[in-house]
């Protein structure tokens, strides 16, 4: 699929320069990405996240070390590839970032609504992203294995699927407009098909990621938020049911794919 698009890419990008015709633009980009693998600034956020987890903070002056991310209090390794899932204590299906808010509230006394309203990259929101980066890193290389055994998990999958195909906004876009067909691309960015497993380290399996273009660390919540921005939709609420439902849909579809988070992206 991609081969057919390369001449177009070359012509657009290189102005039909004969010199680079031997190596395709696609190969050149792959080489560039490979050169960046070693030394991912996401490491800086990972380190920060780990520190924050262990620090006594908030009105209750407590650490998050007793936080249950799905496999018991304080268990970090392996939880990332099993989220989102149903949590009995809150009675809802939660993703990593909403679960971090739950723990920051119950253990540390933070106000989750206030954090949810904070801009990405600042204040406690930035701390949530850093911790999400660290938690994801502790499952790096492991395969996604979301549960669908609880009724609510199955409901959220179906809700996510509906949302994925729901067209709206000024441009009548849906997630499927970009991610509903094989072989689509925007300029030089491949758009993975997300209605099924897109493969190791692709789509759901590639976030949180450090974006070099703006030097920002993005969690899955910010990725979804920005997708909606590009679709000219109103922003979904941070850690809202809609975003969790989409994550369930994407995560269950990615069953068996290996996580590369935290990744490095354009």
Nearer to another protein, 194 or 245 (CB): 194
- The residue range among 34-42, 88-96, 109-117, 158-166 that interacts with another protein, by the rule CB under 8 A, is 34-42
Does residue 155 belong to the site contacting another protein (CB under 8 A)? no
Does residue 163 belong to the site contacting another protein (CB under 8 A)? no
Does residue 44 belong to the site contacting another protein (CB under 8 A)? yes
Nearer to another protein, 78 or 121 (CB): 121
Residues of span 191-210 touching another protein by CB under 8 A = 191-192, 203, 210
Distances (CA, A) of 55 to 45, 69, 71, 137: 15, 17, 21, 19
CA distance 106 to 195: 35
Does residue 176 belong to the site contacting another protein (CB under 8 A)? no
Does residue 170 belong to the site contacting another protein (CB under 8 A)? no
**The only residue of 1, 16, 189, 256 in contact with another protein, by rule CB under 8 A:** 189
Pairing state between β 85-87 and 209-211: unpaired
**Beta strands in the chain, from DSSP E residues, in sequence order:** 85-87, 92-94, 184-186, 189-191, 209-211, 216-218, 263-265
Residue count (the chain): 266
**The only residue of 3, 4, 18, 35 in contact with another protein, by rule CB under 8 A:** 35
Distances (CA, A) of 38 to 95, 97, 220, 260: 28, 26, 22, 13
Q: Which of 67, 103, 175, 227 is an active site residue?
A: 227
27-31 long-range Cβ contacts below 8 angstroms, 24+ apart: 29/188
Does residue 5 belong to the site contacting another protein (CB under 8 A)? no
Taking alpha carbons only, the member of 100, 96, 105, 121 closest to residue 58 is: 105
- Does 227 participate in catalysis according to the annotation? yes
Do residues 189 and 266 touch, judged by C-beta distance below 8 A?
yes
Least distance from another protein to the Cβ atom of residue 215, Å: 4
Does residue 153 belong to the site contacting another protein (CB under 8 A)? no
Task: Give the residues lining the site for another protein (CB under 8 A).
Answer: 13-14, 20, 23, 25, 28-29, 31-33, 35-36, 38-41, 43-44, 47-48, 185-192, 203, 210-215, 226, 230, 265-266
- Residues that are catalytic: 227
């Amino acid at each position: 699929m991609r081969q057919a698009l390369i001449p177009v890419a070359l012509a657009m990008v290189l102005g039909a320069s004969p010199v680079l015709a031997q190596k395709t633009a696609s190969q050149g980009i792959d080489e560039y990405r490979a050169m960046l693998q070693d030394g991912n600034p996401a490491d800086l956020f990972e380190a920060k996240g780990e520190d924050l987890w262990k620090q006594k903070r908030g009105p209750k002056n407590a650490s998050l070390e007793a936080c249950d991310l799905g496999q018991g209090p304080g268990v970090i390794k392996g939880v990332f590839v099993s989220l989102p899932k149903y949590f009995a204590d809150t009675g809802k299906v939660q993703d990593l970032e909403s679960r971090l808010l739950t723990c920051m509230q119950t253990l540390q006394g933070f106000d989750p609504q206030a954090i949810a309203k904070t801009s990405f990259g600042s204040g406690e929101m930035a701390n949530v992203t850093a911790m999400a980066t660290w938690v994801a890193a502790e499952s790096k290389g492991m395969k996604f294995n979301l549960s669908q055994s609880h009724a609510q998990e199955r409901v959220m999958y179906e809700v996510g699927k509906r949302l994925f195909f729901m067209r709206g906004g000024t441009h009548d876009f849906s997630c499927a407009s970009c991610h509903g067909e094989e072989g689509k691309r925007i300029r030089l960015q491949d758009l993975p098909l997300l209605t099924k497993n897109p493969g190791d380290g692709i789509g759901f399996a590639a976030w949180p990621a450090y974006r070099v273009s703006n030097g920002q660390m993005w969690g899955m919540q910010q990725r979804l938020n920005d997708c909606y921005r590009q679709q000219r939709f109103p922003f979904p609420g941070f850690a809202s049911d809609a975003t969790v439902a989409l994550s369930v849909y994407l995560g269950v579809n990615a069953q068996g794919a290996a996580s590369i988070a935290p990744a490095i992206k354009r």
